[in-house]
Each structure stands twice: as structure tokens, then as C-alpha cells.
Amino acid sequence: MHGTTEQHGGHGSLKSYVIGFVLSLIFTIIPILALENGWLDSDKRLIIYLGAALFQFIVQLFFFMHLKEEDKPRYNLMSLLLGLFIVFLIVIGSIWIMMYNMVAL
């Protein structure tokens, strides 16, 4: 031990954590209020849910996983995109198979 401190890149400040937390709360409360108060019909509520989920995902990536502070090359971003692509393929493929089996019956 040499008494030097290592710099760990990618850690956010208290301000960025508070902003991320507040945004996360907002994108959690909006769909709950839309459901509880019956503000919109079911189709528009679904759009609100999906939009809030998407924004919640983006907030988590940038404020808590520090995706924007990553040095090049962007291995974490590429791994994330590959994982999302695989999940997308599995979900869409499963839905397509279920729909095809429903029509065939």
C-alpha cells in the first residue's frame, strides 16, 4: 500500500443522483396517477405507461449507470445494445409464435 488513491471514473455527483432520483419518482408517479384517477382511456394510458417506462430506463442509464461518462471505446454501451437486441428478438419472436399458433387453432 503506497498511500495513493485510485481514481474510479464514472461516479456521479450528489447533484446528478438527486436529479436522477427526482426524475425517477416523476416517471413513476405519472402512470400511477393516470391509473388511479382515470384521466385517460385504456389506449392512451398504455401510451403513458410505455412512455414513462422508456424515460425511466433512460434516466437509469444516464444518471445511475453513468453511461454518458464512459470513456472510449464504449464497451458498456455496445454490450447493452447487444443485450437489448437479444431481448427484443426473444420477445418479438415469442409474440409471433403465439400469434401464429392462435390463428392455426
Q: What's the pLDDT tens digit per position in 36-76?
A: 887 777 788 888 888 898 899 888 888 877 777 666 667 77
The answer to whether the pTM exceeds 0.85 is no
| Predicted local confidence at residue 7, as pLDDT | 46
Q: Indicate whether 53 and 94 sit together in one domain.
A: no
| Predicted local confidence at residue 4, as pLDDT | 46
Residue given cell 437509469 in the structure block:
60
**Quick one: DSSP state of residue 41?**
-
Is it the case that residue 17 has pLDDT exceeding 70? yes
| Domain that includes residue 102, residue range | 71-105
Q: Report how many domains make up the chain.
A: 2
Q: Indicate whether 23 and 48 sit together in one domain.
A: yes
Q: Indicate whether 25 and 61 sit together in one domain.
A: yes
CB distance 30 to 48 below 8 Å? yes
**Quick one: DSSP state of residue 60?**
I
Q: Indicate whether 79 and 44 sit together in one domain.
A: no
78-105: per-residue pLDDT in tens? 888 888 899 999 999 998 888 887 765 5
Q: Indicate whether 19 and 1 sit together in one domain.
A: yes
- Choice between 78 and 22, residue whose per-residue pLDDT is larger: 22
Q: Indicate whether 62 and 88 sit together in one domain.
A: no
Q: Indicate whether 62 and 85 sit together in one domain.
A: no
Q: Indicate whether 56 and 86 sit together in one domain.
A: no
Q: Indicate whether 79 and 49 sit together in one domain.
A: no
